[in-house]
């Protein structure tokens, strides 16, 4: 690219933060135009602020980071690695779930491993076959009452919990007190709208990116909850990260796809829409602490009914 071209394309568009370097990214919702260095810094600062706002970590937290090999989880891993450099007593461990989706997850796990190696972060993998006796490919191939995403979402969630709690000598023990996942602003806004569309007042009440401590569960936190997905993607791009680029072959959650498409269009027409939906979710939620009333009669996990969803679906697989 020649200088004349850069000048033509970025006339009067230097970074609105440092006022020096040419900008490379525009945030229509805030009006900012950022150079690559300021873009990186602003994402780091936003995550740091979010972590502080929700008291996500203690000074000595052992944080399991759910790493899928996609751009969100790898961005999260990098930002938390940077953030935790200031906390010498804290530690990160990457936890991965191998659902057994041939040609998809195996590539993702290789990428996750590569990124962990670069950062010097230990990685611990749990497998659907070992936890539930079947791979996702096998579940998808059989007759099912529900869609594949319904099974995978619930079982992945359980698998991540198991991985975060695992005490495994070979993996030098995960034994985490926090589980950080790469859910971004888009995921959060979609969840708010989905809860409204489904009339799911219980989930609306429990909406909480900072998670909560429930005995038997590792507290789940979502440090990227205020970072738009476009920005995790651009972060991965400008930092030359290698990440899983193909969607899951079983992705079929039609209602979430509809909501995602709607929100993406609204964000172009009315910048800031995703933040507004997310903030509304926070305003209408309750305290979210009165819904876990019992323990699963099979596995003992906290649940609102007699059987937790993971055991219910595992039972349906038999």
* Nearer Cβ to other proteins (28/300): 28
Question: Closest approach of Cβ 261 to other proteins, in Å?
Answer: 8
Question: Closest approach of Cβ 142 to other proteins, in Å?
Answer: 22
The single-letter DSSP state of residue 292 is -
How many C-alpha atoms does 169 have within 13 Å on its Cβ side?
Answer: 0
* Nearer Cβ to other proteins (214/241): 241
Residue 54 structure tokens: 């929700």
* Nearer Cβ to other proteins (49/265): 265
The single-letter DSSP state of residue 69 is S
Nearest C-alpha neighbor of 201 from the set 273, 283, 286, 263:
286
Tell me if 263 sits within 8 A of 193, measured CB to CB: yes
Instruction: Report d(CA 170, CA 165) in Å as an integer.
Output: 14
Question: Closest approach of Cβ 270 to other proteins, in Å?
Answer: 12
Instruction: Report d(CA 241, CA 75) in Å as an integer.
Output: 9
Query: Judged by CB under 8 A, does residue 305 bind other proteins?
Result: no
* Nearer Cβ to other proteins (74/192): 74
- Write out the binding residues for other proteins, residues 67-126 only, by CB under 8 A: 68, 70-73, 104, 108
Beta-carbon contacts of 279 under 8 Å, excluding residues fewer than 6 positions away, are none
Binding flags for other proteins, 172-191, as an x/- string (CB under 8 A):
----------x---------
Instruction: Report d(CA 268, CA 286) in Å as an integer.
Output: 31
Question: Closest approach of Cβ 143 to other proteins, in Å?
Answer: 25
Write the CA distances from 177 to 79, 96, 113, 141, integer angstroms. Answer: 19, 16, 22, 36
Query: Judged by CB under 8 A, does residue 171 bind other proteins?
Result: no
C-alpha triplet 233, 239, 241: angle, nearest 5°: 70
* Nearer Cβ to other proteins (105/178): 105
Question: Closest approach of Cβ 227 to other proteins, in Å?
Answer: 12
Question: Closest approach of Cβ 13 to other proteins, in Å?
Answer: 7
- Write out the binding residues for other proteins, residues 196-255 only, by CB under 8 A: 229-230, 233-234, 237, 243-248, 251
* Nearer Cβ to other proteins (111/174): 111
# residues near other proteins by CB under 8 A: 40
Query: Judged by CB under 8 A, does residue 157 bind other proteins?
Result: no
Residue 187 structure tokens: 């995921």
What values do phi and psi take at 53, rounded to 5?
Answer: -60, -40
Question: Closest approach of Cβ 26 to other proteins, in Å?
Answer: 4
Query: Judged by CB under 8 A, does residue 12 bind other proteins?
Result: no
Tell me if 200 sits within 8 A of 215, measured CB to CB: no
Kind and range of the H or E run holding 205: helix 201-206
Question: Closest approach of Cβ 8 to other proteins, in Å?
Answer: 7
**Contact positions vs other proteins (CB under 8 A):** 1, 5-6, 8-10, 13, 22-26, 28, 33, 68, 70-73, 104, 108, 182, 229-230, 233-234, 237, 243-248, 251, 260-261, 264-265, 267-268
């Amino acid at each position: 690219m020649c200088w004349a071209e850069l000048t033509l394309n970025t006339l009067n568009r230097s970074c609105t933060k440092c006022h020096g370097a040419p900008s490379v990214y525009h945030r229509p919702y805030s009006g900012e135009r950022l150079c690559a260095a300021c873009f990186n810094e602003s994402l780091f600062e936003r995550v740091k602020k979010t972590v502080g706002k929700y008291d996500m970590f203690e000074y000595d937290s052992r944080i399991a980071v759910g790493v899928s090999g996609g751009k969100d989880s790898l961005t999260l891993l990098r930002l938390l690695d940077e953030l935790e450099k200031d906390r010498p007593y804290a530690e990160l461990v990457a936890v991965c779930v191998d659902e057994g989706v041939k040609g998809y997850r195996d590539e993702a796990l290789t990428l996750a491993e590569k990124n962990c190696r670069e950062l010097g972060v230990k990685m611990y993998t749990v497998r659907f076959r070992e936890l539930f006796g079947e791979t996702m490919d096998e579940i998808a191939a059989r007759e099912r009452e529900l869609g594949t995403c319904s099974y995978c979402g619930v079982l992945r969630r359980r698998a991540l919990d198991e991985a975060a709690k695992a005490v495994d000598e070979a993996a030098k023990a995960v034994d985490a007190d926090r589980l950080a996942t790469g859910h971004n602003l888009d995921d959060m806004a979609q969840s708010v709208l989905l809860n409204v569309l489904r009339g799911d007042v219980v989930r609306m009440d429990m909406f909480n990116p900072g998670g909560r401590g429930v005995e038997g569960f590792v507290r789940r936190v979502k440090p990227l909850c205020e970072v738009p997905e476009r920005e995790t993607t651009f972060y991965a791009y400008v930092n030359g990260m290698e990440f899983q680029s193909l969607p899951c072959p079983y992705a079929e959650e039609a209602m979430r796809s509809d909501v995602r498409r709607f929100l993406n269009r609204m964000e172009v027409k009315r910048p800031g829409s995703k933040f507004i939906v997310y903030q509304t979710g926070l305003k209408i939620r309750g305290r979210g602490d009165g819904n876990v009333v019992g323990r699963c009669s099979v596995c003992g996990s906290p649940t609102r009914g007699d059987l937790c969803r993971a055991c219910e679906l595992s039972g349906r697989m038999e």
